[in-house]
Every structure is written in C-alpha cells, then in structure tokens.
Amino acid sequence: MYNFHESIVNALRPTLKEGVRSIILASPTRTNHAQRFINHIRGHHAWLVQGPNKATFSEATEPASTQSEVAALARTPMFHRLISETTSQETENLIDILEKRLNTSNQDTVVLYSLKETEDLILGPQKPGRPKAEYLMLTDKHLSDSPEKNRIHRLMQIATNRNVKTRIVDAESKAGLRLTQLGGMVCFARLE
C-alpha cells in the first residue's frame, strides 16, 4: 500500500508544480481508500497539507477507475459542488499567503496592485536580482468590468507561459472581497 500511495504522490508532483492545489480523491462507497491516502500524506508528505503551498483535498464517494466513470463523475452536481468548495479553500490559502506578504517587512517580497506595474514585471526581461512573479490573482468582476480586458487576457496568457500561477476569483467570495479592497488585481513576487 505504501508503494501505491507513493506512486500517486509522484504522479501528482508535476501537476502540483504547475500550481494546482485542489485535489479530489474518488473512491467507491463503503471503502476507506481516500482516507488511507490522506493519512499517508499526513504521515509521509506533510508539505502537501501544511505550509504556504498546501494542497486542499476533497473526497468523492463514487468509483472513478475508468475514463467513462471519471466522465460520469465529472457531470454530477456533487462533483461540481466539491470543485467549488475545494477551489474556494485553495483561494483562501492564497489569500493567507498574500496577507503574510502584505504584513511582512521582508525586502525579498513584492506586492503589485496596478496593471502597468504587473505588466512591467511579467512581460519584462527575466534578469537575476529582479523580482520574479509567483502569483497573479484578480476578481472576475475586475476582469469583466475593465476597459483593458485584452491587455489583462494577454498578461494572463504570458504569465501562464512563464510559470506564474494565475487565479480568477469570484468577487463575491471572501477572497474576492479582499482582492476588491486591493483594487481587484494583485501580483506578488519574490526576489531571487
């Protein structure tokens, strides 16, 4: 069982490196496969459930061992609810990181609020000693109401291509309300 769980963690690593932090575990009803996997993670991979880059896990009690079962699961209202809850928790984790960055006196972190500053950082040359963008977050309302939609979409595409994690947050959520207080868009970076 240990090797099986380790193979799952190893299969998740590339996805986690891309910034995905919401994971739904599907296991048949009347089994404890998902709980045993989460216990394995807590015991052997605490970095997955603790710290600033922690992942959020949810459990679906449906079989999903074939592509057709996964497709059927993805169409259920329960799955959509789980996705919403899990990504909401992931966004809350990102807001926690943002709050820590805002409240730190560390000179190695940078938080940007304007489109121009964010474009300069992300679109500019990637030189040593220059901050490297880590996250670009904005609310769906900011994106839909902005007269600069095309610039923002272009920026988000280039940011994704440059391995900057991007998130569009529901403006009505707790995280969205906090982003709205900061202007609707935030980019945080770290000096390397």
Please give the structure tokens belonging to residue 90.
């992931």
Domain boundary among 95, 120, 136: 95
pLDDT one-digit tens code per residue, 94-149:
888 888 888 887 778 888 999 999 999 999 887 888 889 988 999 999 999 999 99
For residues 83 and 108, membership in a common domain is answered with: no
For residues 7 and 82, membership in a common domain is answered with: yes
CATH assignment of the domain containing 108:
3.30.1330.30
> Residue 165 has what pLDDT?
86
For residues 108 and 182, membership in a common domain is answered with: yes
> Residue 109 has what pLDDT?
85
What's the mean pLDDT in 47-67?
84
In this predicted structure, the answer to whether residue 18 has a pLDDT above a threshold of 80 is: no
Provide the mean pLDDT of the chain: 88
For residues 163 and 79, membership in a common domain is answered with: no
Domain boundary among 61, 77, 95: 95
> Residue 145 has what pLDDT?
93
For residues 109 and 88, membership in a common domain is answered with: no
For residues 123 and 75, membership in a common domain is answered with: no
Range in 15-24, 76-85, 138-147, 163-172 the model is least confident about: 15-24
> Residue 63 has what pLDDT?
81
Which of 106, 123, 90, 122 minimizes the C-alpha distance to 186? 122
What's the mean pLDDT in 12-39?
87
For residues 87 and 133, membership in a common domain is answered with: no
What's the mean pLDDT in 17-23?
81
Angle between helices 77-102 and 174-181 (to 10 degrees): 40
For residues 17 and 89, membership in a common domain is answered with: yes
For residues 83 and 111, membership in a common domain is answered with: no
In this predicted structure, the answer to whether residue 178 has a pLDDT above a threshold of 80 is: yes
Contact present, 98 and 186 (Cβ < 8 Å): yes
The count of domains in the chain is 2
Domain boundary among 95, 123, 157: 95
> Residue 148 has what pLDDT?
92
Maximum alpha-carbon separation in the chain: 54
For residues 116 and 161, membership in a common domain is answered with: yes
> Residue 127 has what pLDDT?
80
> Residue 108 has what pLDDT?
82
Query: Which residues constitute the domain of residue 84?
Result: 2-95
Angle between helices 115-123 and 149-161 (to 10 degrees): 30
Please give the structure tokens belonging to residue 102.
């805002």
In this predicted structure, the answer to whether residue 53 has a pLDDT above a threshold of 80 is: no
For residues 127 and 184, membership in a common domain is answered with: yes
For residues 35 and 57, membership in a common domain is answered with: yes
pLDDT band at 173 (very low <50, low <70, confident <90, very high): confident
Q: Is 135 helix (H, G, I), strand (E, B) or coil?
A: strand
The percentage of residues in the chain with a pLDDT greater than 90, rounded to a whole number, is 39
pLDDT one-digit tens code per residue, 138-165:
999 999 999 999 999 999 999 989 888 8
